Structure 1
Amino acid sequence: MFTPIMYIIFSCTLSGIILYIAYIIADTLYRKSKYSLIHYLVYYFMYLKNLLNGDSIYLIIFLIISMCIYITLSYKKSKNIISLIENVDKMANGNINNIIDLNASGNIKKLANNINNIVTQLRNITIEERKAQQTKTDLITNVSHDLRTPLTSIIGYLSIIEDDKYKDEVKLRYYTSIAYEKSKMLNVLINDLFDLTKMQNNTMTLNLTQIDLVELLGQIASQFEYMFENENVKCRLNFSQDKLIIKADPIKLVRAFENLITNAIKYGKDGNYIDIVTKRKDNVAIVKIINYGESIPTIDLPYIFDRLYRVEKSRNRNDGGSGLGLAITKNIIEMHDGNIYVSSDYDCTVFEVRLNLNDI
């Protein structure tokens, strides 16, 4: 705001000094010089002075010199303002990758930096929106495929029944059974999809209460005894001697650990063992679900908790899962301000859950 005023004051002061020095030099040279050129210039100046009604010529020269000095001082700033306008025009026309780079300081530099920051944020938002749109498209594509597969089977077998094309009651029951199982698969997928959407939209509430995590895991493991036996898997419990008291929604937490144990059985049963380990570290409860089956490829590990992401070896949908179990588990854990990690090598695959303790 005060910069132009300072420029004017400086220009006028410097102009006055220049005029004064020029007057002294001209007077000295006129008195001492024998050259006709100096005398001619002085004579011409006096002629202009008389022509312009006396001393007004000094004012004109003063204004001209002051203006030249002011323009010289303002040129760089004006150039930066013009460059700033041109760059902003480019951004306004959709070139959000454009960066304003000015050799300036002060408010103009600050303005340019602020515009660059705004454009960077806009560019990041645009990228995130594109990713979200791509994720939504992928989700719709995958869900449509997963819904269509069992639905096609249901319609096929029910059409056989509707057209009385079955041989006997045994075949009728067989077709009905298949349609029923496929319907349950649809129900699991739709319910999981709704639950995951509610979690990610923060519309699902938690009914928090104090629970003993070790006791909860013991109860969950006992409920899987039949499945362990059926899959020839032995579950080994290695629980901490400490009471791991946490504040959590037991129903939702049970679902998260059930998903992890089911996943361990499904993809780790070839290893014959599943370990459930708990321990305390500082004020954090750590739970590890370990299986010794085929490892998860390193390239797949970063995406293992994504919706409907499937490791290549597990793309077969005959397991009846929704493909959303691990995504739901991650959301449940994070709703409890916890974290979940996965690691896998040739020896074992480990899902590690960390939850904050709520010691009494």
Structure 2
Amino acid sequence: MKRIFKLRSELAFSAVFSVIISLVLAVFLREFVLGSFLNSYNGTPEYIYKNMIAPVEQDLKNMDMNNSGKLQKYMDREYSMTYFIFVVRKDGGVIASNNREIKSIDNDQIENGKRTFKFLNAHRDNLVKITRCDYLKDGYYLYYIYTGYGKLDNSNIVGVMAILIFIIVFFTLIWKRISYISKIKSTVRSIAEGDLSERVPLKYKNELRELSEDINYMASRIEGEEKNRNEFLTNISHDLRTPLTTILGYIDMIKNGKYDSKRELEDYIDIMNKKGLYLKSMLDDFFEYSKLSSKDIILERQCLELNELARQVAEEEEDEFIRKGLKLSLKLPQESIGIKADPNLFLRAVNNLLSNALKYSKDGTIVEFNVSREKYNDSFYSVVSVSNVPETPVGDEDIENFFERLYKGDLSRKKEGSGLGLSIVREIVKHHGGFVKACRENEKLVFKIFMDVKC
């Protein structure tokens, strides 16, 4: 069996993978692609100090602070238009600088570690002024002023890039699944609009595949129901038209006096009566099935003794079987078997099984009508069974479809009936919490009602 990965696990994996990729790419872009661009503004205090002032400060610490000429010569070499560097005393007097026009610094600025930072305009477009003072040695301090465009504030750039990359990578990974969900949606809409041949292509190995399989199964069932409905309309039209045509034909003959004797007239009326009763029987079946198919049917349950019920039914039906050249054999257990069921509905189910055997049994054979207790799937049930030898061999497909609505074998089309008899049996038994089964035992066809509701 192929392993099915859960969709949420796939999404979690995609999210974790996207986080890792986004962080790696964000750092890479920051360091190797955007680094020179981000640092090109020569800005923030730490950048200025680290890249411009720290080397000078280190050199000055290694020089003689009392040799002002040497200090000034060094400062001249480090001159720059964007920053001014001063070696000052504690009182602010300048000993050496790269700007000889400034002779002193406010002594309140001369304090080890003192720093200032401010924007030079209201819009704060990175034009800044930075000052810093650090102690050198021997009572001397290094003081510098930077005026210019500061480095962009990129402390959050890595995070922003990581989020953007995460979104791109994550949606790239799950985009096919999102598209697949859209395909499922459009297929369901097509099915709902009547295109029952539409199917969802099967992809992946997660809940989306299971959903697609269920949708396809639903579509197949609906398509089958639609086919059955169309067959029903065709069959019912045929089944109703034939006796109705016969009745109308005889009515026309009677109206036009096309009979030679009273006896012939009575024969016509008798035929019309039989066809009328057949039509009534069919309509009763349709009404009964419609009623049983509704979910709000109310059962009037009573305790029924199956042995007694079977005896009464057999006595009532025995003559009918004899007239058809069949024998009805009744077999009952010694023990009393009781169930709780709606008497009228359950009797209808039993009569339908016997009626089915009466119509389709081979001449001169025995129809067995039995009551018993049987074990099925580790549970014991009260069972009513009817078995007969059919006129023609029954295939496996027939057995599977016997209880489907309006199913009729080819031969049975020649028989009068609505095709709902066994479907009604199934619906009645289902409402009682039981089930029905059909099977072959040698040459016999066996129908069984299993009931587990006891008195």
Same fold (TM over 0.5): yes
| TM superposition shift of 1:348 | 0.9
2:234 to 141, 149, 152: 141
For 2:419 and 2:177, the matched residues in 1 are separated by: 51
SS in 2 for 1:224: helix
Q: Which residue matches 1:313?
A: 411
More helix by share: 1
Q: Which residue matches 2:274?
A: 181
Q: How does 1:246-261 map to 2 (within 5 A)?
A: 246-261=339-354
Deviations 1:10-50 (CA, angstroms, capped at 9, x unpaired) = 9999999998xx99xx98xxx9xxxxxxxxxxxxxx99997
Match of 1:241, as an amino acid? Answer: Q
For 1:217 and 1:338, the matched residues in 2 are separated by: 18
For 2:297 and 2:231, the matched residues in 1 are separated by: 24
Deviations 1:271-299 (CA, angstroms, capped at 9, x unpaired) = 52121222223541112211134342222
More strand by share: 2
Deviations 1:112-140 (CA, angstroms, capped at 9, x unpaired) = x7777766655554444433333322222
Q: How does 1:217-236 map to 2 (within 5 A)?
A: 217-236=310-329
Match of 2:343, as an amino acid? Answer: P
SS in 2 for 1:308: coil
For 1:48 and 1:264, the matched residues in 2 are separated by: 113
Q: Which residue matches 1:301?
A: 399
Q: Which residue matches 1:165?
A: 258
| TM superposition shift of 1:204 | 3.5
Deviations 1:76-95 (CA, angstroms, capped at 9, x unpaired) = 11423654554455455549
For 2:183 and 2:311, the matched residues in 1 are separated by: 64
Structure 1 regions of 5+ residues with no counterpart?
A: 32-45, 103-112
For 2:229 and 2:331, the matched residues in 1 are separated by: 41
Q: Which residue matches 2:301?
A: 208
For 2:283 and 2:334, the matched residues in 1 are separated by: 40
| TM superposition shift of 1:251 | 1.5
For 2:252 and 2:281, the matched residues in 1 are separated by: 23
Pair 80,229 (structure 1): closer, same or farther in 2 beyond 3 Å:
same
| TM superposition shift of 1:254 | 1.3
Higher mean C-alpha displacement, 331-340 vs 342-351: 342-351
2:200 to 90, 97, 101: 97
Q: Which residue matches 1:287?
A: 384
SS in 1 for 2:325: coil
Match of 1:187, as an amino acid? Answer: K
SS in 1 for 2:370: strand
For 1:65 and 1:283, the matched residues in 2 are separated by: 71
| TM superposition shift of 1:312 | 2.1
Pair 127,357 (structure 1): closer, same or farther in 2 beyond 3 Å:
closer
Q: Which residue matches 1:277?
A: 370
SS in 2 for 1:287: strand
Pair 92,262 (structure 1): closer, same or farther in 2 beyond 3 Å:
closer
Structure 2 regions of 5+ residues with no counterpart?
A: 1-14, 40-46, 56-78, 84-125, 128-146, 188-197
Q: Is the 8 A contact 1:48 1:57 kept in 2?
A: no
Q: Is the 8 A contact 2:352 2:425 kept in 1?
A: yes
For 1:152 and 1:270, the matched residues in 2 are separated by: 30
SS in 1 for 2:396: coil
TM-score (norm 1): 0.74
Q: How does 1:27-66 map to 2 (within 5 A)?
A: 56-57=150-151, 59=153
For 1:204 and 1:90, the matched residues in 2 are separated by: 40
Pair 248,11 (structure 1): closer, same or farther in 2 beyond 3 Å:
same
| TM superposition shift of 1:187 | 0.5
For 1:253 and 1:127, the matched residues in 2 are separated by: 32
Deviations 1:183-219 (CA, angstroms, capped at 9, x unpaired) = 1110000111011011012344321101101110111
SS in 2 for 1:57: coil
Sequence identity (%): 26
For 2:249 and 2:82, the matched residues in 1 are separated by: 110
Match of 1:336, as an amino acid? Answer: H
RMSD of aligned alpha carbons: 4.1
Pair 47,273 (structure 1): closer, same or farther in 2 beyond 3 Å:
farther
TM-score (norm 2): 0.60
How many residues align? The count is 325
Structure of larger gyration radius:
2
SS in 1 for 2:151: helix
